[in-house]
Amino acid sequence: MKGIIVFLILFTILVVFHEFGHYFFAKKMGILVREFAIGMGPKIFQHHAQNGTTFTIRILPLGGYVRLAGVEESELEAGQTVYVTLNDQGSIIQIDTRSDQNIDGLPLTVRKSDLSSDLFIEGDVFDNEADDLVTKTFNVDHDAYIVENDGTEVRIAPKDVQYNSAVWWKKLITNFAGPFNNIILAIVAFSISAFMMGGVQDLNTNKITIYDRNMPAAKAGIKSGDSIVSVDDVQTHDYKEIKKELDKDQKGRPVKVKVKRSSHYKTFIIKPKYSKTDGTGRYYIGISVWYRKSFQSQILYGFTETYANSVAILQTLGSFFTGGFSLDKIAGPVGIYSISSQAANSGVGVLVALCASLSISLAIANLLPIPGLDGGKILLNLIEAIRRKPIKQEHEVVVTLIGAAFLLMLIIVVTVHDIMKLF
C-alpha cells in the first residue's frame, strides 16, 4: 500500500507541474485554458478563477490535464434541450446541458448554434403570451459558461482565445512549457534532496564520511573528514579508488589504511565487519562518500545533477540507434511503481531525488517528435512556421490520433515486459 501511495503522489506531482507549465504560458500567450484538472474521472470539486479557468479536483489521483480552448470543444446538437440563463441584456451567460428537469434556467431546444465565431443559439422556447413554442435567436456572451453532463462548468471557447488562432510561436511556447516546467522541478528537487541528505556527494575526493560509529573504521579512530590516501599501500585519490581497493578482498582480512588528518598522517590496521546491509552480504569498514555541505554546492547540485541525468537519458535514447532497441532500457508504469516502492524505504531525501530524475525523464520523453507528445506538437508548430500558414485542424487531429495509438501500444508492451520482470 505504501508503494502505491508513493507512486500516485509522485506521478501526480510530475504531471501537475507539467500541466501547470502549459497553463501558465497559455494564459500569457492569450490562449484560454478552459479547465485545469488535478486527477482523472468524476469531478468532486471545482472553482472558477477570474481569468476564466475552472480548476477541478477529480476522484482518481492519476495526474491531471489542461483543456485549451479550440482543442476540445463542447458542441450543441440540433434537437438537444439545454437550460440557458440570461443577463439583463438578454444574452446567454450560462448553458446547462444536463438532462435533470430540476435545473434552473430557460428550457431551449436547439435548432442551430455557434459558440465559436458568431456566438449565438437559435432554438425553440415556450412563449407565455403565445402559449406555444416559438423560435428565438439568442446572443451568447463572450465569457459565457457551459455546464457539461457531469456538472463541470467551463467557459465557452470563442475563436479569438482558441489555441488554433494563436500564431505559431505562441503555440510552440505553450507546448514547450510543460517539459520546461519539469526541468525546473528537477533542478529544485535535486537541490532540496541535497539539503535533506546532508550535502552533495563528492566522488572526486578521498575525504570520507563515517556513517556508523559501531563499525571498524570509527572504532579504530578514523573520523569524518579524514582523507584516505592509501589502502594496502596502493594510493587512492578519490572515493572510487578507495572503494575499489577495499572491495578487492571480500574474505574479511585486515586492511592497512593510511589516513591524512590536517597535515598529519596515521596508519590503521582495520578488520572489516560482515553485514547484509545491501541485501547480499559483504564486508565493510564503515565509511561512505564525503558530502560537500556548503549552501552554494547544494544549490548548484540541482543544476549539475539535472544536466548529468539529462545527458544519461539522451545517451540511452541514442543507444537505441547504435546498440539496438531494447525494452530493458525503458520503464513503464509498473517499472516506475517498483522503483518508487524501493525508494519509499530509503527516506524522503531519496524520494525527492527520484522525483527529480523522473521529472527529467518526463520532460525529455515529451520532447520526442512523436505525434501526440509535446515534441510532436512543436514539430507541427515549426512546420507551420515554414509553410507560413496553419496546418488544417483535421490533419493535425489525424496525426495526433496515430501518435496516440502508437504510444498506447508502446505503453502496453512495456507494461507487460515490466510485469514479466517481476516474476
User: Active-site positions?
Assistant: 19
What is the distance between the alpha carbons of residues 199 and 234, in angstroms, rounded to a whole number? 28
C-alpha 366 chain-centroid distance = 10
Q: Which triple of cell numbers denotes residue 357?
A: 530524475
Place of cell 485549451: 68
- Cα angle vertex 42, ends 39, 48, to 5°? 75
- Give the CA distances from residue 360 to residues 118, 139, 189, 315, 388, in Å, rounded to whole numbers and listed in that order: 44, 47, 11, 14, 33
Cβ atoms 195, 300 nearer than 8 A: no
DSSP 126-151: EETTTTEEEEEEEEEEEEEEEE-TTS
What does DSSP assign to residue 50?
Answer: T
Indicate the helix (H) or strand (E) that contains 218: helix 216-220
Q: Indicate the SS3 state at residue 216.
A: helix
Q: Which triple of cell numbers denotes residue 420?
A: 514479466
Q: Which amino acid is at 288?
A: S
Beta carbons within 8 Å of 356's beta carbon, 6+ residues apart: 185, 186, 187, 189, 190, 193, 302, 305, 306, 309
Nearest by Cα to 364 from 174, 186, 172: 186
Strand pairing partners for 259? Answer: 228, 266
The string over 138-163, giving b where at least 16 C-beta atoms fall within 10 Å of a residue's C-beta and e elsewhere, is bbbbeebbbbeeeebbbbbbbeebbb
